[in-house]
């Protein structure tokens, strides 16, 4: 059971609201988010291009741009090495189109998830050598590819790494000793000595910063690179980066651009997904459009998604968009089957008491391991690693998804001797290891964990205890000022206790959600939608007679009629 906690931060909410022309509820939520300074409030409520930082502040940016300029001028063959997820796909697209715009002789290659695994490898370098490539540019990978980059340098290739993942390190005498690959230039804000102040950019945003710096050097207005803003925003949401600081402004601006995108492939995908004409939000990227791009890299080739973004043929755009949708439907079926198998594994192996779950599902397709890990994390409220047999028969591969307060990458560094390869973020990671090390990994990752299952328990932070009678259409519309919502900027949570359920009715094809008529303590009535387990409602009502709800209000428009309603996230 999640813990419910009420924010208790104090401030002059009335004064903040009056100064910025918003409701006091908005002011309270801003304070809850730690947004209290004038500049912060302005950036939060009214994001602008002025919030986007100068990419020249990144370490090695000048060096990378100089190398690219020389390669373009000398007609050197350039190859971009991308990745097969949303971030890698968008980063590859940005670099490829950006370099073509400056006249580069450039192509790209994306690792095959099943055959190559994640990131740059020696075989890809060997192919670059055979193809006469002179400059390799990575995106959304490369920071951990020391062996492959060393091979490239030995063969006389130049290498630029653009990445955002954690820099590999080992602990020596109680201190982190970082290990950078021997590239000619490394553009990654995560480097310890990189002066760029915002460290949470995704790989596509880093790639975009490179193109923005390259264009003026090549005689092209920097503003022309802003056509890729929507791609960087898409990747920021898709890679679940924190929507704070520069990221929040980047996504807010990118969503506006995406709403009227001139990209034929993206526009076609939006249409085929049935969301044309809707006000696009981070939700649409994270749960509708993004999974279609991701599905290409999971079950086929990520080049399909890049081809969709680059096509100028309406017929090809429709064919590719439909293919990605079909792959995503396959992925959904595989995920559901895998989740059922994973839950059975946890219960059968008596691992539900482990602080960190390590679930070994040898027959599950490795492409959905990360999604399954995320679903288990939600159910069991703790870090989860899902391991599967590698498709090439070489050991075991896996993906991890974490909870707040548990740095997955740092914890994996304590077990590094068990892996053949690993990398990632505090909240997500990928790994490869010999099959005989699976049980040893489970034991050690739990032995080094300093957090109890209670400490990792999900906490529901209530922003405002707000009775239904206080809701008005204007107050609900003002909540749009707080968008985009996502990791690091969660949707506000309101609460009402002692709610009487006047009526309830199962809805959906399979009764998967419940519509209820609710009455609050002060008599305010409203319709509520609950997408959780119907049994939860029955259990609480049978025990207490009334329910306490955590909710978010919205205005539902149906056949020209608008009606207020609340979407219930938690019941107790």
pLDDT tens column, 369-400: 999 999 999 888 889 999 999 877 789 999 99
- Identify the DSSP state of 485: P
- Does residue 7 fall inside a structural domain? no
- Does residue 105 fall inside a structural domain? yes
Residues 410 and 550 in one domain: no
Residues 424 and 505 in one domain: no
Return the pLDDT at 447. Answer: 93
Residues 151 and 191 in one domain: yes
Residues 443 and 463 in one domain: no
Residues 407 and 501 in one domain: no
Residues 124 and 166 in one domain: yes
Domain housing 422: 349-447
Residues 193 and 60 in one domain: yes
Relative orientation angle of helices 314-348 and 290-299, to the nearest 10 degrees: 80
- Rounded to the nearest 10°, the torsion over CA 553, 241, 273, 306 is 170
Task: Say how far apart CA 116 and CA 119 lie, in whole Å.
Answer: 8
- Does residue 389 fall inside a structural domain? yes
Return the pLDDT at 1. Answer: 62
Residue recorded with tokens 């099943």:
114
**423 strand-pairing partners:** 430
**For residue 407, with 0-12 CB atoms within 10 Å meaning exposed, 13-18 middle and 19 or more buried, which class applies?**
middle
Domain containing 466 — which CATH number?
2.40.50.460
In the listed set 392, 414, 447, which residue is the last one of a domain according to the structure?
Answer: 447
- Does residue 145 fall inside a structural domain? yes
Domain count, the chain: 3
Residues 483 and 410 in one domain: no
In the listed set 220, 245, 280, which residue is the last one of a domain according to the structure?
Answer: 220
Return the pLDDT at 352. Answer: 67
In the listed set 417, 447, 477, which residue is the last one of a domain according to the structure?
Answer: 447
Return the pLDDT at 452. Answer: 79
Q: Give the H or E element holding residue 503.
A: strand 494-507
Angle at the Cα of 522 from the Cα atoms of 518 and 528, rounded to 5 degrees? 20
Task: Say how far apart CA 119 and CA 417 lie, in whole Å.
Answer: 20
Residues 99 and 177 in one domain: yes
Residues 424 and 463 in one domain: no
Measured in degrees and rounded to the nearest 5, phi and psi for residue 86 equal -55, -45
pLDDT by residue (tens digit) across 406-448?
999 999 999 999 999 898 878 889 999 999 999 999 999 999 9
Task: Say how far apart CA 142 and CA 160 lie, in whole Å.
Answer: 9
Residues 539 and 497 in one domain: yes
Q: The tokens of 515 are what?
A: 């519509």
Return the pLDDT at 543. Answer: 83
Task: Say how far apart CA 163 and CA 166 lie, in whole Å.
Answer: 9
Q: What is the bridge-based pairing of β-strands 513-519 and 525-530?
A: antiparallel
Residues 553 and 408 in one domain: no
Domain containing 170 — which CATH number?
3.90.1640.30
Low-confidence ranges of the chain (pLDDT < 50): none
Domain containing 442 — which CATH number?
3.10.310.30
């Amino acid at each position: 059971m999640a813990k419910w906690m009420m924010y208790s931060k104090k401030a002059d909410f009335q004064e903040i609201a009056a100064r910025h022309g918003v409701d006091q509820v908005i002011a309270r939520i801003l304070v809850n988010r730690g947004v209290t300074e004038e500049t912060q409030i302005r950036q939060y409520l009214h994001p602008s291009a002025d919030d986007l930082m100068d990419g020249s502040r990144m370490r090695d940016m000048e060096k990378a741009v100089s190398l690219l300029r020389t390669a373009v001028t000398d007609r050197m063959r350039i190859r971009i090495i991308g990745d097969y997820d949303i971030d890698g796909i968008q980063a590859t697209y940005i670099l490829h189109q950006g370099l073509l715009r400056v006249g580069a002789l450039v192509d790209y290659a994306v690792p095959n998830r099943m055959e190559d695994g994640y990131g740059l490898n020696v075989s890809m370098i060997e192919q670059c050598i055979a193809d006469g490539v002179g400059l390799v540019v990575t995106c959304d990978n490369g920071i951990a590819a020391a062996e492959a980059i060393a091979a490239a340098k030995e063969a006389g290739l130049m290498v630029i790494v653009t990445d955002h993942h954690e820099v590999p390190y080992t602990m020596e005498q109680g201190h982190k000793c970082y290990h950078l690959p021997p590239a000619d230039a490394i553009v990654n804000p995560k480097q310890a000595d990189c002066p760029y102040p915002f460290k949470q950019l995704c790989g596509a945003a880093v790639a975009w910063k490179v193109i923005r710096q390259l264009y003026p050097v090549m005689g092209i207005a920097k503003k022309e690179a802003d056509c890729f803003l929507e791609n960087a925003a898409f990747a920021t949401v898709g890679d679940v980066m924190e929507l704070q600081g520069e990221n929040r402004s980047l996504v807010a601006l990118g969503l506006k651009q995406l709403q009227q995108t001139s990209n034929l492939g993206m526009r076609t995908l939006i249409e085929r997904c049935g969301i044309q004409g809707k006000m696009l939000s981070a939700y649409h990227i994270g749960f509708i459009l993004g999974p279609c791009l991701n599905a290409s890299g999971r079950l086929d080739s990520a080049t399909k998604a890049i081809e969709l973004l680059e096509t100028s043929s309406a017929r090809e755009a429709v064919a590719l968009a439909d293919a990605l949708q079909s792959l995503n439907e396959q992925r959904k079926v595989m995920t559901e089957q895998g989740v059922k198998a994973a839950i059975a594994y946890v219960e059968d192996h008596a691992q539900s008491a482990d602080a960190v779950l390590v679930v070994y599902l040898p027959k599950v397709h490795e492409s959905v391991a990360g999604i399954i890990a995320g679903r288990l994390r939600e159910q069991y409220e703790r870090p989860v690693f899902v391991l599967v047999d590698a498709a090439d028969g070489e050991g075991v591969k896996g993906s991890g998804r974490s909870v707040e307060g548990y740095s997955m990458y740092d914890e994996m560094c304590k077990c590094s001797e068990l892996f053949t390869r690993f990398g990632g973020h505090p909240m997500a990671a990928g790994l490869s290891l010999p099959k005989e090390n699976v049980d040893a990994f489970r034991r050690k990752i739990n032995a080094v964990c300093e957090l109890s299952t209670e400490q990792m328990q999900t906490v529901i932070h209530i922003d405002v205890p707000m009775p239904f009678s206080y809701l008005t259409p204007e107050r609900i519309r003002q909540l749009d000022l707080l968008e985009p919502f996502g990791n690091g900027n969660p949707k506000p949570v309101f609460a009402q206790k002692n709610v009487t359920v006047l009526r309830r009715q199962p809805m959906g094809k399979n009764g998967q959600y419940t519509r209820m008529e609710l009455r609050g303590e002060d008599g305010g009535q409203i319709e509520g939608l609950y997408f959780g387990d119907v049994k939860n409602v029955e259990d609480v009502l049978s025990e207490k007679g009334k329910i306490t709800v955590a909710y978010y209000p919205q205005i539902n428009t149906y056949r020209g009629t608008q009606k207020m309603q609340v979407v219930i996230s938690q019941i107790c």
